[in-house]
Amino acid sequence: MKRLVLPSALWLCLMALLTIGQSAYAYNLPDFTELVEDAAPGVVNISTSRTVQRSSAPSIGGFGGQEIPEIFRHFFGDSFGDSFPTPPGSGQGRSEERQSLGSGFVISEDGYVMTNAHVVQDADEILVRLNDRRELPAELIGSDAQTDVALLKIDATDLPVLNLGNSDDLKVGEWVAAIGSPFGFDHSVTAGIVSAINRTLPRDAYVPFIQTDVAINPGNSGGPLFNLDGEVVGINSQIFTRSGGFMGLSFAIPINVAMDVADQLREGGHVDRGWLGVMIQPVSRDLAESFGMANASGALIADLDPEGPAAQGGLRAGDVIISVNGDEVDRSSSLPRLIGRVAPGSEVELTLMRDGEEVTETVELGHWPDSEKAEGEGSNNQVRLGISVAELDDTVRERLSIDGGVEVRQVEPGSVAAQAGLQVGDVLVSIDHRGVSSADELLSIVEGLPSDRAIPLRIYRDGRSLFVALRLE
């Protein structure tokens, strides 16, 4: 077989075409320089500090009761030695200042700054460093743990304000960029594309996250996510990681959701959400067929609060909610955020599948039970287990011949409770060998549970008593 030999002139033409093609490809890539020049002044660095009480330095073999060397804390963390007993006569302990870093951005000329709630959580002092290197103390106007949004106020005027976009207009594949302070490196810029929208994450039922592949690391939290027009379309909130660093999955809070929360925080210091009063579950393919539905979508009502808005509005167990005010409920996890963004006292039109037919009911929403608490201990402790519970009435307790107990109303997928095998409808009567008679008592017990060993739970299921074990994160 003869080898094809191309003339030199033809090789030169081919190389020229390849070079032109590569240049055209590079030419079509977005240029973020103008965006960064315009937007960077409105991005801020946020540092927080809080003082915690620690026991005096423990006496560990070889240290003779002296302060633990810094090298051990460097490799093993600040909690190294906390599990060791404090020596007699060591005093009342000492205070220690903990610091954290995050990002934020200016949303008004008179000093309102937005960031993540987890960036400023439990902070005794908050400092905002502006682009011109000024450091100003900030007041926490309010924070909302459910959406991870916090609103700060600094004493300054004529600040550079970022332009806000419409996160509802975002499309998958669109270019986006982030500016923040990863690991304290101010005004670092990273870019990528929108990987998905309306992403639901475990324990974050109220946020339809924007998923991107923009590199986000510790310190980026609270910083803005921009579209190519230089408009803020999201707040960088969290990443999925197995290493502690960026692994290609970043999640941002849509700016439309964040601004709704910020407006409520500015007006009243807390967020008020609508409440329907139902316990829901996903619609499987078999359930959809049994209900006469063409697709496995919607939120199936498994139970109702007898005093809640849904029960009062005529909804019943077995109804499948398929839309709220015309917005499709494509999966059960979509319902909480569709209801939560409606103000209490407002009426919502619910489209349901009932007995194989589509019907419409109008329900006036109530106040979400935890909405009057900015960051109540109860909601945080419920998140630790990954369940929601309701107290039992006397009839159920009499039938099971128990004095206390609470009913499991919801189990979050992937939570420690789900991993332990807890199911909706289980009656939890004791945890760590301590009786549970109310939701408040359960939360109080959970707060003090260790995370280094398995915890026994006694439950009733289908009229039988059994034990399960879970290990807290």
CB of 188 within 8 A of CB of 181?
yes
Calpha distance 138→45 (Å, rounded): 12
CB 234 within 8 A of CB 222: no
- Taking CA atoms, 215 is separated from 177, 184, 241, 242, in Å, by 9, 15, 12, 15
Question: CA 269, 272, 278: angle at the middle one, nearest 5?
Answer: 155
Residues with a catalytic annotation lie at 118, 148, 221
Instruction: Identify the sign of the CA torsion 137, 123, 251, 382.
Output: negative
Contact 463/400 with Cβ under 8 angstroms?
Answer: yes
- Can you tell me the distance from the alpha carbon of 369 to that of 363, in angstroms, rounded to the nearest whole number? 17
- Nearest CA to 294 out of 285, 281, 303, 304 is that of 285
Chain CA centroid to CA 461, Å? 31
Token pair 């707040």 is found at: 235
Q: Kind and range of the H or E element at 381?
A: helix 377-385
Whole-angstrom distance, CA of residue 167 vs CA of residue 325: 20
Q: What is the rounded distance in angstroms from the CA atom of residue 189 to the CA atom of residue 191?
A: 7
Report the half-sphere exposure of 59 (CA within 13 A, side-chain side). 8
Q: Rounded CA gap, 359 and 281, in Å?
A: 20
Give the closest residue to 424 by CA, choosing from 438, 435, 413.
413
